[in-house]
């Protein structure tokens, strides 16, 4: 018996050794942790249960039969994060660059299947050179098996990808179909083809960083939902994110005990809106003051920053905050902001997370760049997402709600449940100046008349009462009572029942 146990231990040790000490050393020298070190940080202490550590590839080409490492370049299994079950896989770059063989793919598929069956989130840690070059079509088929499972799990369990090294070729599309992609600064790259292929095909010379670095994807392309400084910060933050999320689409998000009174007043909000409607203020301050303990987890903080999307809690329960940010581009809705917020709204709706929307929006961004970029279709994504959402929707207009953007931002007309306005709200087709220039064009030569008309327009429309008289606003609230009122509204919506007509699926403007 002793001998058998010793043999088991030896086999386990061989699997844990991955690609060997020298390659682990190289991994550390690059500022990266190994796959197992990463899982240790991600999961609760001693909670990791590993599967398939003895799996080997079955490739016999290019001398591969003599090049086998148990585990085959990916560590898979289950564990807990603050006591709640998750499934994980972590690519081991020390084993053939974390490249994907058929056996490696089958290990990932196994945990994907278990996560879906058992209703738990799945987190993938990526650090890989793509398809195992020696395997050919087996590797390609393996990727497609993973992709298929990503799609079936979408909207059923949260799927999170963390890019912690190279991630190229076939490895990019699985993360792309998950709910969130996070990257690590300076050590992670995400691209379909690397700089060498780019040079061959297009003659363009680019660095890894320019082509697919964390800064590019979290600020320019919008492929990544966020960037962290290093492996350690990334894993700690993913633990935080998981705490906000339900484990699947049939469970409620966890309720977190807190020490923040539901009826806490925030007097500073009463003087937050500047006298001059063209002056900005920081909408993030509103969110921090309203959320439980000011605790927020922002999604895409550096992309489309004219809209804020963040998880927070109200009265201990997770909510999705969507808020126009007057500090950036006056909070206008453009292509990036629309896509960003639409995806966030759909995630919240899929996972039964109520939406709390703060509105200060001067409209959609005009111009040829936006129109030729497809603003109509992209703006419609956000409109569509809000309109189809059946979760509780509480909306607060703090200042401007102009034009089509008023409709889009969870208005009453899109089944907003409770719609509040601060007394500073201005709900109109457009700002007074623009409106007067159009409807009183004949008086343009008379500045005195124009000033008078502008004042008239402001008096009539630069307030929330026209909308309130029609019932489009349920109440005009004092800003300092916002937290109390939103929590009160969410309590009334606790048992909300609303469903859309039966359909196979909708046809959101992609």
- Token duo for residue 136: 């050919």
Least spacing, CB of residue 97 vs ligand HXC, in Å: 2
Q: Report yes or no: 417 and 392 within 8 Å, Cβ to Cβ.
A: yes
- Check if 20 is active-site: no
The answer to whether residue 129 forms part of the interface with ligand HXC (CB under 6 A) is: yes
Beta bridge partners, 393, equal 355
Catalytic residue among 18, 77, 165, 170: 170
The Cα–Cα gap between 348 and 72 comes to 36
Q: Distance (Å, rounded) from C-alpha 219 to C-alpha 164?
A: 18
| Distance in angstroms between the alpha carbons of the first and the last residue of the chain | 61
Q: Would you state the structure tokens that stand for residue 336, as one six-digit string? A: 């990036």
Q: Tell me how far, at minimum, the Cβ of 112 lies from ligand HXC, in Å.
A: 16
The single residue of 35, 139, 214, 405 carrying the catalytic annotation is: 405
Name which of 59 and 361 has its Cβ closer to ligand HXC: 59
CB of 88 to ligand HXC, least distance (A): 22
- Work out whether 126 is an interface residue with ligand HXC (CB under 6 A): no
Q: Is residue 170 flagged as an active site residue?
A: yes
Active site residue 385: no
Is 405 designated active site?
Answer: yes
CB of 143 to ligand HXC, least distance (A): 4
Smallest distance, ligand HXC to C-beta of residue 129, A: 2
CA–CA distance, 124 with 35 (Å, rounded to integer): 11
Contact, 343 vs 300, CB < 8 A? no
Nearest to 394 by CA among 369, 368, 424, 359: 359
- Asked whether 207 and 195 are in contact (CB, 8 A), the reply is yes
Enumerate residues 67-96 that contact ligand HXC by CB under 6 A: 96
**479 contacts ligand HXC (rule: CB under 6 A):** no
Question: Which distant-in-sequence residues (6+ apart) come within 8 Å of 498 by Cβ?
Answer: 390, 415
C-beta of 143 vs 402, nearer to ligand HXC: 143
Near ligand HXC by CB under 6 A: residue from 140, 330, 350, 508: 140
List the interface residues with ligand HXC, window 15-54 (CB under 6 A): 23
**Whether 355 contacts 393, CB under 8 Å:** yes
Residues numbered 188 to 247 that lie near ligand HXC (CB under 6 A) are 194
User: Per-residue string for binding with ligand HXC, 151-190, x by CB under 6 A?
Assistant: ---------------x-xxx--x-----------------
Which residue, 94 or 357, is less far from ligand HXC as judged by CB?
A: 94
Q: Which of 345, 333, 233 has the alpha carbon at shortest distance from 299?
A: 345
Picking from 113, 172, 158, 112, the residue whose alpha carbon sits closest to that of residue 347 is 158
The residues annotated with a catalytic role in the active site are 169-170, 404-405
Binding site for ligand HXC (CB under 6 A): 23, 96-97, 99, 129-133, 140, 143, 166, 168-170, 173, 194
């Amino acid at each position: 018996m002793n001998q058998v146990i010793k043999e088991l231990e030896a086999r386990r040790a061989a699997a844990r050794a991955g690609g060997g000490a020298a390659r682990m050393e190289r991994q550390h020298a690059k500022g990266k942790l190994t796959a197992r070190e990463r899982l240790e940080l991600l999961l609760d202490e001693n909670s990791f249960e590993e599967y398939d550590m003895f799996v080997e590839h079955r490739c016999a080409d290019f001398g591969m039969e003599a090049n086998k490492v148990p585990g085959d370049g990916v560590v898979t299994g289950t564990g807990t994060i603050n006591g709640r079950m998750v499934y994980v896989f972590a690519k081991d770059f020390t084993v053939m660059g974390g490249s994907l063989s058929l056996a490696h793919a089958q290990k990932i598929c196994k945990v994907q299947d278990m996560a879906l069956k058992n209703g738990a989130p799945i987190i993938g840690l990526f650090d890989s050179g793509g398809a195992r070059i020696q395997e050919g079509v087996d590797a390609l088929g393996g990727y497609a098996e993973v992709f298929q499972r990503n799609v079936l799990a979408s909207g059923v369990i949260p799927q999170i990808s963390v890019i912690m090294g190279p991630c190229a070729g076939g490895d990019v599309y699985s993360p792309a179909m998950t709910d969130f992609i996070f990257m690590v600064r300076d050590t992670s790259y995400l691209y379909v083809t690397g700089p060498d292929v780019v040079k061959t095909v297009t003659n363009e010379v680019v660095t890894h960083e320019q082509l697919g670095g964390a800064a590019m994807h979290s600020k320019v392309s919008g492929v990544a939902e966020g960037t962290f400084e290093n492996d350690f910060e990334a894993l700690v933050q993913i633990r935080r994110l998981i705490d906000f999320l339900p484990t699947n689409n049939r469970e409620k998000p966890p309720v977190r005990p807190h020490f923040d009174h539901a009826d806490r007043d925030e007097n500073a909000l009463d003087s937050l809106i500047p006298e001059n409607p063209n002056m900005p203020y920081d909408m993030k301050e509103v969110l921090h003051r309203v959320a439980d303990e000011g605790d927020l987890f922002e999604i895409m903080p550096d992309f489309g920053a004219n809209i804020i999307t963040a998880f927070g809690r109200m009265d201990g329960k997770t909510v999705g905050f969507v808020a126009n940010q007057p500090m950036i581009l006056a909070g206008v809705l453009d292509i990036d902001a629309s896509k960003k917020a639409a995806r966030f709204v759909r995630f919240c709706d899929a996972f039964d997370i109520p939406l709390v929307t703060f509105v200060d929006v001067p409209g959609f961004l005009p111009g040829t760049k936006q129109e030729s970029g497809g603003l109509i279709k992209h703006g419609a994504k956000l409109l569509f997402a809000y309109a189809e959402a059946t979760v509780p929707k509480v909306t607060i207009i703090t200042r401007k709600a102009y034009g089509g953007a008023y409709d889009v931002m969870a208005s009453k007309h899109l089944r907003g449940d409770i719609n509040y306005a601060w007394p500073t709200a201005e709900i109109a087709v457009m700002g007074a100046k623009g409106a007067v220039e159009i409807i009183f064009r004949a008086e343009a030569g008379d500045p005195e008349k124009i000033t008078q008309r502008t004042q008239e327009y402001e008096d009539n429309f630069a307030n929330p009462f026209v909308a309130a008289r029609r019932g489009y606003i349920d109440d005009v609230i004092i800003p300092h009572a916002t937290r109390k009122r939103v929590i009160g509204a969410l309590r009334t919506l606790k048992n909300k029942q609303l469903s859309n007509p039966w359909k196979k699926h909708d046809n959101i403007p992609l």
